[in-house]
Chains A and B, each alone.
Chain A
Amino acid sequence: QKEVEQDPGPLSVPEGAIVSLNCTYSNSAFQYFMWYRQYSRKGPELLMYTYSSGNKEDGRFTAQVDKSSKYISLFIRDSQPSDSATYLCAMTVNQGGKLIFGQGTELSVKP
Chain B
Amino acid sequence: GAVVSQHPSRVICKSGTSVKIECRSLDFQATTMFWYRQFPKQSLMLMATSNEGSKATYEQGVEKDKFLINHASLTLSTLTVTSAHPEDSSFYICSARVGGRTEAFFGQGTRLTVV
Q: Which residues of A contact B (CB under 8 A)?
A: 8, 32, 34, 36, 41-46, 49, 51, 88, 92, 95-96, 98-99, 101-104, 106
Contacts and interface: CB of A to CB of B under 8 A. Distances in A.
A40 to B, nearest CB: 10
B100 A43 contact: no
Interface string B77-94: 000000000000001010
A95 B102 contact: yes
B105 interface: yes
Nearest to B42: A103
Interface in B1-42: 2, 4, 6, 32, 34, 41-42
Contacts of A99: 34, 46, 104
Contacts, number: 53
B104 to A, nearest CB: 6
Interface of B: 2, 4, 6, 32, 34, 41-44, 46, 49, 91, 93, 95, 100-109, 111
A45 B102 CA distance: 15
Contacts of A103: 42-43
Given A41-B91, A44-B93, A106-B41, A96 B32 contact: yes
A101 to B, nearest CB: 5
Contact of A49 (B91, B93, B103): B103
Nearest to A34: B103
Contact of B46 (A88, A96, A98): A98
Given A46-B2, A103-B43, 17 more contacts: A32-B103, A34-B102, A34-B103, A42-B108, A42-B109, A43-B4, A43-B95, A43-B106, A44-B95, A46-B103, A46-B104, A49-B103, A88-B43, A88-B44, A99-B46, A104-B42, A106-B41
A44 B44 contact: yes
A98 B34 contact: yes
A54 B101 CA distance: 20
A43 B32 contact: no
Contacts of A95: 100-102
